[in-house]
């Protein structure tokens, strides 16, 4: 058997779509909630989830804590804005009796109503099913990652993991500022200095990479927006990095 672990903070709208498929693959849904002020906890409990609330200490800490609360050793880590496809549900149900490796899910992102198939966003394989004694979550600045034991084999599973990440282009813009700031802080913490040449060239390079090398052009107007905003985020990141070093003197 496997347990599902979710991290939540004011996710009631997403959870009504996310939780029902999860009940089809596990009898143990563990939710670590960062003191939500909406109906998140009630929605989770309506679907049979066990909810533990605690103050926010970062994504990795919360996910590792959730795994420690699970009834089963095999953990399926799902974000509140992700939904299992019917094919993935069937795959997981068939796989449960023979779990033995780590498993990557085929995630595809929805951008303001359109599924993005290029632009550096797809393919987007994420290792999300693992044995809790053989992996741990690390990192917290921008995106956490699952660190596996070096000898762990990863198997890719059929079926999509639907990612409803950006409800609108405005939502994307709002998050860009936060990600740019977090990325700049991570760069500074690692000792990365601000350089004028990088600050000038990197945004342009990111646009070219996303729109042409990563085939954002094939995603239509959404690919154009994603490419431009990726470039914008890089520009903001370097602006913030310069500011952080100047503040330090």
Whole-number pLDDT of residue 169: 86
Which fold, 2-166?
Answer: Spore Coat Polysaccharide Biosynthesis Protein SpsA; Chain A (3.90.550)
Mean of pLDDT over the chain = 97
Point out which residues pair with 53 in neighbouring strands.
Answer: 33
**Strand duo 29-33 + 50-53: pairing:** parallel
Cα 92 from Cα 100, distance rounded (Å): 13
Cα 120 from Cα 213, distance rounded (Å): 9
Burial class (CB in 10 A: 0-12, 13-18, 19+), 226: buried
Whole-number pLDDT of residue 141: 67
Residue ranges covered by each domain of the chain: 2-166, 169-248
Specify the pTM: 0.95
Cα 106 from Cα 88, distance rounded (Å): 9
Burial class (CB in 10 A: 0-12, 13-18, 19+), 185: middle
Whole-number pLDDT of residue 22: 99
- What number of other Cβ atoms are within 10 A of residue 172's Cβ? 20
Q: What angle do CA 5, 96, 101 make, to 5 degrees?
A: 80
With a cut of 70, list the residues of the chain below it in pLDDT.
141
């Amino acid at each position: 058997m496997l347990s599902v672990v979710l991290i939540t903070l004011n996710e009631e709208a997403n959870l009504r779509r996310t939780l029902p498929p999860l009940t089809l693959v596990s009898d143990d849904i563990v939710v670590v909630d960062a003191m939500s002020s909406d109906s998140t906890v009630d929605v989770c409990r309506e679907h049979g989830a066990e909810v533990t609330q605690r103050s926010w200490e970062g994504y990795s800490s919360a996910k590792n804590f959730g795994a420690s609360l699970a009834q089963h050793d095999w953990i399926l880590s799902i974000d509140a804005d992700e939904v299992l496809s019917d094919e993935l549900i069937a795959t997981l149900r068939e796989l449960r009796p023979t779990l033995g490796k780590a498993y990557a899910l085929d995630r595809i992102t929805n951008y303001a109503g359109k599924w993005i198939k290029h632009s550096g966003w797809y393919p987007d394989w994420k290792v999300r099913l693992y044995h809790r004694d053989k992996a741990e979550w690390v990192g917290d600045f921008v995106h956490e990652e699952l660190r596996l034991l070096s000898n762990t084999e990863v198997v890719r599973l059929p079926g999509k993991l639907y990612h409803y990440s950006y409800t609108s282009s405005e939502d994307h813009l709002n998050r860009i500022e936060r990600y740019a700031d977090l990325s700049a802080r991570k760069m500074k913490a690692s000792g990365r200095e601000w350089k004028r040449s990088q600050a000038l060239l990197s945004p342009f390079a990111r646009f070219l990479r996303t729109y042409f090398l990563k085939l954002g052009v094939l995603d239509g107007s959404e690919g154009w927006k994603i490419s431009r905003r990726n470039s914008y985020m890089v520009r903001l990141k370097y602006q913030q990095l310069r500011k952080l070093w100047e503040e330090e003197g």
